Chain A
């Protein structure tokens, strides 16, 4: 495997692996809460952080993380308080974040258009050793929360009102989900880009739930799919020279289509098994033969 001989490819593959695990791990809760597009919004806001990082000549990853976390908290607050105009407020935040990022980047010396592109669409082979440390630390945090608190997060995302009555700190857990999603966005930023981050949070989950009945199974399969597409996509981008982010997302959508096609007959079989005995609405005519009768000629 010559691909592993290059330090930059080793880093790229490790980053891909990490993103493949973390993005679906938090994404499943967003999908469960029917907020599949939240990651997309955070990605938009994070761009302002990247621009700010360039302008201040500091690490864009850390500044992007800080701004994305702030943005996600604001989104969560809008979800609580803004009942009727909530979606408009969110739209304002998303596009403001995007425009702010582009503006700040153009003001800075280092931030060229090419640079902007690597953050928007990912540039996995340019992940630096410093980026790597940041990514590892943040990913560990994401996993700790999404796996360690899975029962609490499941309860909150399944039925918020019920979770409140069981005494769970629902607001805190909701904030935690938002912050974790923001952190994941910045972890995945270099691999798939801010515009495609959300795809990796949502599509593996969508594909996994085609074939699974339980939350635990969906969680495991989604992470499996996430890892499979990020690693394959990164390797493909090395051999064929195509952008890694786009390759990964298209692979994920391809898997989703395959899983959906596979699931249709599976679901039919399950429905039949579930209906089982209650399905027999056939009129019994005395003396008639049934399929199970032995008929010999």
Chain B
């Protein structure tokens, strides 16, 4: 951890970005140190997805600086160290593919010229076992449920044995059983020292794993610290924090999570 203090895994400073004419990030600072699990929270349209997508270079920054593993983003080539789970789109495409074939795509960065060795097959199997999908390796991804689909996408990211795992809403639309499997898989990764940055709509079953939460609202960081507590009735969706509080200073952090 000593070395990490000097060199954050992700160092995003003053990031601005816009989609079309609309500014989505308006000066976001986001630092993630090795071994940390950081959740990026915020309401829909707060820019949290754009923020992670800018970290992996999928949204160009119009301003600010970004470095990964201490390397300026422009010079960063070491993508094998990064595992990415996109917001669930499709693991299925125009042609059938098995679970194993999809997960193997996540191992490519660790192979030389795409030549698959025994160790690569083993890594794919381990990743599938970690998300409880080893027995479905030969099945077509088209035959999977939403939750199983998401597990495959996470296994794909894990197959490369990344040091940094970036996940965009990994729990969205995932059934309870799969959520628990995913939380378990993530716990194992964190225990092994993997750094994690994840976008979440709500903390949910991952809450105990999270070291720090960064809350975005309208493209600005409004909270960076311990995960905001949302318990009991406050956690209900659609609940708005408009209680008359005795002490104004005790006003809870407005996360935008529930608005």
Which residues from chain A sit less than 8 Å from chain B, CB to CB? 28, 31-34, 36, 149-152, 154-155, 157-159, 161-168, 205, 209, 212-218, 270-271, 274
Q: Residue B56 contacts which of A31, A165, A213, A216 (CB distance < 8 angstroms)?
A: A165
Instruction: Tell me, in angstroms, the Cα distance from A149 to B108 when the chains sit together.
Output: 11
The stretch from B30-38, B90-98, B188-196 touching chain A is B90-98
A115 to B68 Cα, complex, angstroms? 59
Q: Determine if A167 and B139 form an interchain contact, defined as CB atoms under 8 angstroms apart.
A: no
- When chains A and B are docked, how far (Å) is the Cα of A209 from the Cα of B82? 33
> With A31-B95, A32-B94, A149-B114 in contact, do A166 and B79 touch (Cβ < 8 Å)?
yes
Question: Could you pull out 11 A-B pairs where Cβ atoms are within 8 angstroms?
Answer: A32-B95, A162-B106, A166-B80, A166-B108, A168-B108, A209-B96, A214-B100, A214-B140, A215-B96, A215-B101, A216-B101
The answer to whether B5 has its CB under 8 Å from any CB of chain A is no
Contact of B58 among A154, A155, A161, A217 (CB under 8 A): A161
Once A271-B143, A274-B143 are accepted as A-B contacts, the answer to whether A164 and B93 lie under 8 Å apart by CB is: no
Residues of A contacting B89 in the complex (Cβ-Cβ under 8 angstroms): 159
B95 and A218: CB pair below 8 A?
yes
The verdict on B109 contacting chain A, using a C-beta distance below 8 Å, is: yes
Q: Tell me if B116 counts as interface (CB < 8 A to partner A).
A: yes
A34 touches B140 (CB 8 A): no
Q: Which residues on B sit within 8 Å (CB–CB) of A159?
A: 86, 89-91, 93, 105
Contact B108 A215 (CB under 8 A): no
Q: Contacting A164 at CB < 8 Å: which of B58, B101, B156?
A: B58
Q: Please provide the chain B residues from 98 to 148 with a CB less than 8 Å away from any CB of chain A in the complex.
A: 98, 100-102, 104-106, 108-109, 111, 114, 116, 138-140, 143
Contact between B116 and A151, CB atoms less than 8 A apart: yes
State how many angstroms separate the Cβ of B79 from the closest Cβ of chain A.
Answer: 3
CB distance from B60 to the nearest CB of A (A): 13
Given contacts A162-B84, A162-B86, contact A151 B93 (CB under 8 A): no
Chain A residues contacting B90 (CB-CB under 8 Å) are: 159
- Specify which chain B residues have a CB less than 8 angstroms from the CB of A168 in the assembled complex: 108-109
Residue in B80, B96, B106, B116 whose CB lies within 8 Å of A214:
B96
Instruction: Say yes or no: is B77 at the interface (Cβ < 8 Å to chain A).
Output: yes
Which B residues are closer than 8 A to A by beta carbons?
56-58, 77-80, 82, 84, 86, 89-91, 93-98, 100-102, 104-106, 108-109, 111, 114, 116, 138-140, 143, 156, 160
Tell me whether B94 and A213 are in contact (CB under 8 A): no
Most chain A beta-carbon neighbours within 10 Å: one of B57, B79, B96: B96
CB of A212 within 8 A of CB of B108, answer no
Alpha-carbon distance A284/B98, docked complex (angstroms): 36
In the complex the two chains form, what is the Cα distance from A31 to B58 in whole Å? 24
Tell me whether A31 and B94 are in contact in the complex, defined as CB-CB below 8 angstroms, given that A152-B114, A159-B86, A213-B138 are known contacts.
yes
Chain A residue numbers with a CB within 8 Å of B116 are: 151
**Nearest-CB residue, chain B, relative to A267:** B143
* Complex Cα spacing A78 to B58, Å: 19
Contact of A205 with B86 in the complex, beta carbons under 8 Å: no
Instruction: Establish whether residues B114 and A151, one from each chain, have CB atoms under 8 Å apart when the complex forms.
Output: yes
For residue B109, which residues in chain A have a CB less than 8 angstroms away from its CB? 166-168
Judging by beta carbons under 8 Å apart, are A164 and B57 in contact? Answer: yes
- Given contacts A154-B97, A167-B78, A270-B143, 10 further A-B pairs with CB under 8 A are A151-B104, A151-B116, A152-B108, A152-B114, A157-B94, A158-B91, A159-B90, A166-B84, A167-B109, A214-B96
- Residues of chain A within 8 A (CB-CB) of B140 are 213-214
* Interface pair A213/B86, CB less than 8 Å apart: no
Q: Which residues of B contact A209 (CB under 8 A)?
A: 95-96
**Contact indicator B96/A166 (Cβ below 8 Å):** no
Cα distance, A155 to B89, chains bound together (Å)? 15
- Find the residue from A154, A217, A270 having the highest chain B CB count within 10 A: A154
Residues of B within 8 A of A163 (CB): 105
Q: Are B96 and A158 in contact (CB under 8 A)?
A: no
Q: When the two chains form their complex, are residues A166 and B95 in contact, meaning their CB atoms are under 8 A apart?
A: no
Give the residue name and chain of the A residue nearest to B111 (CB): A151
The smallest C-beta distance from A8 to any residue of chain B, in angstroms, reads 36
Residues A215 and B105 in contact, CB atoms below 8 Å apart = no
Residue from B105, B138, B139 in contact with A162 in the complex, judged by beta carbons closer than 8 Å: B105
Given A32-B93, A215-B96: A167 touches B101 (CB 8 Å cut-off): no
The one of A32, A151, A205, A216 that contacts B108, using a Cβ cutoff of 8 Å = A151
A149-B79 Cα distance, complex, nearest whole Å: 19
B95 to chain A, nearest CB (A): 4
